[in-house]
Structures are given as C-alpha cells and as structure tokens.
Copies of this chain bind each other. A is one copy, B any other.
Amino acid sequence: MKNFTSFADSGDYKALLQQALEIKAKPYGYQHIGRNKTVGLIFFNPSLRTRLSSLKAAYNLGTQAWVLNAGADSWTLEMADGAVMNGGPQEHIKDAIAVMSQYCDVLGVRTFPTLKERDEDYGEVVFTKILQYATVPVISLESATLHPLQSFADLITVAETKPKARVKVVLTWAPHVRALPQCVPNSFCDWFSEIDWVDFVITHPEGYELDPKFTKGARIEYDQHKALLGADYVQAKNWSSYLNYGQVLQNDPAWMLTPEHMARTHNARFLHCLPVRRNVEVSDAVLDAPGSLIVQQAGNRVFAMQAVLHELLRGQ
C-alpha cells in the first residue's frame, strides 16, 4: 500500500480486514511498528470522529500525532500552478504539502467537495495535488468524493457481526435538512460492491443515482420497501444529487427509517456513519434498538485507521 484513498488502494482487502480484526483483539500489540513515527492530520473542515479515532489509532500504535485545523486557522492555499500569488492565499499547496511531509511519516488529509463544481470535485483536484506533492504516504480522511476509512470501519463491523456466511447489505438514502456530499455513499458502494460474501443493494428516490464509477453495476432498487426485504444489514445515509449536482431534489419523510421499515428486513442490524439527525433520517426506535451497531461502528474507525497506519508504516 502506497497511499490509502479508496478501496483499490487496500490491495488484498481480505488481508487488510484480517489485520484490522487482529489489531482490535490486541490493540497495543503492534507498537514496534509505530514507535518513533509521527502521523500528521490536516483538516480543511471540522471533524470529530475522524480526528479522535485517528488520534486513538496512532496512540494505540505507539505513534505520535499532530493535528492542523487548516480551515480554522484561516490559512488559505494557492492551488493553481504558475499563479502570481499577489492575492489572498499565503502559501502554495506545493510548498505546504512538501513541508508538512518533513514533519511526519504519514499524512492524513481531509478535504471537502464544493458541491457546486462537479468536475472539480469528481476530478479530486485538491487531493490529486496533495498526492502529487507529498513525499510521505497519504491517507484520505475524506476527500471530495470518498471516505474510505468510514467504509473500511463499516466492513469491519459487518464482518465481525455477520450471522451467516453470506449477507444482504442495503444502503438506503434517508431524508435530511441540508444538502450533503456523496462521499460516504460513494465509498460504501466502492467497498461493498466488491465484497464477495455480500449481496449489495442500493435504494434511493429517483434522481439520487450515484456516480456509476462507484456503484459498479450494483443492484439499484427504487422501491425502498422492496429493497429492505430480507436485508441482514441496513446502512442509512442522506446525500444530495449527483445528477443535478449538489441539489436536494425532494426530501420525502416516508424514507425515514422506522421500526416499520426494519420489520421488512431479516432482523437486520442497523448502520449509520454518524452524526445522525434523529427522527429525521432515522427514528430513535431504530437507533436505540438492540440491533443498532452505530456506536460499535464508530469505535471501529479506530481499528480501520490503525490497520491502515500499520500497513503504511511497517515498510518504513
């Protein structure tokens, strides 16, 4: 593994998943790999779960960490090659990333989509530059289109709880009050459409189709109730439209997950990446039911990150 930005970077996902499960069983047992290493974490927008789970993962591994809130410090970067920098931005991303690479052994970076310029977002313009200028391995802490650590944590959660060899996993769109990025659903599709022991179904209202690059021909079922039939796992998440980019086309409250929806499943476990708008995306009764794995899933963010750090550092 050179960098970690998508499912493809995980290489042999089965080996990586196995590594994560072994690390979870013995979280402090790999400090010979992490000792005298430093991970740098750069956030261009706020973060809670990613920031804290990444720190815990580093600490478990005996690795030091620093965090830079690039956004909060109002530190603006010039992105254009050849720019005459006589305006607002104080530093070129070329220099910033090269320099920060001097201060760590792995660099975790969170960028975010504009939700306005689809070509720019889906071209991963900012992240591509970061990969270009970094001289240490880079971990995506969420980019404009993907959130691979979240999906890896989702996979760990399903793998460690699945009641049988083959499971049906449903990703369902859910209502929200704001226009959200497609990163989490894109990434969930990027991962779960590749898992050979998963029957993967996506359900959403018409118009919320995701980029086919990520859905990879997975089954799309517009009828949510039909999609949920016999599901072993349901992951709910809101996203804005990819086709009418960044738009909220409709927000039908009937799509909010309730016990009535869950009753159509095969006693499914419930997943959500959090934060969740309770009683808008999903009802309390689902979130607080015994089958809700949301806290365990958030906890697995630690072991997803720790497995990736372990993989990137062990060769250094």
Residues of A within 8 A of B (CB): 27-28, 36, 38, 40, 46, 48-49, 51-53, 55-56, 59-60, 64, 66, 68, 72-75, 78, 82-87, 90-92, 95-96, 98-100, 102-104, 177, 274-280, 284, 287, 294-295, 298-299, 301-302
Residues on the B chain within 8 Å of A74, using CB: 46
The 6 closest A-B pairs by CB, nearest first: A102-B299, A91-B275, A59-B64, A85-B277, A52-B103, A84-B279
Residues on the B chain within 8 Å of A275, using CB: 90-91, 95-96
Q: A95-B274, A279-B84 are in contact. Are A59 and B46 (CB under 8 A)?
A: no
A112 to B102, CA, bound (A): 25
Check B295–A82 contact: CB distance below 8 A. no
Question: Copy number in this complex?
Answer: 3
A83 to B90, CA, bound (A): 38
Check A95–B53 contact: CB distance below 8 A. no
Check B95–A294 contact: CB distance below 8 A. yes
Give A49's nearest chain B residue, CB to CB: B99
Residues on the B chain within 8 Å of A301, using CB: 102
Check A96–B48 contact: CB distance below 8 A. yes
Residues on the B chain within 8 Å of A278, using CB: 78, 83-85, 92, 95
Closest Cβ–Cβ distance, residue A139 to chain B (whole Å)? 17
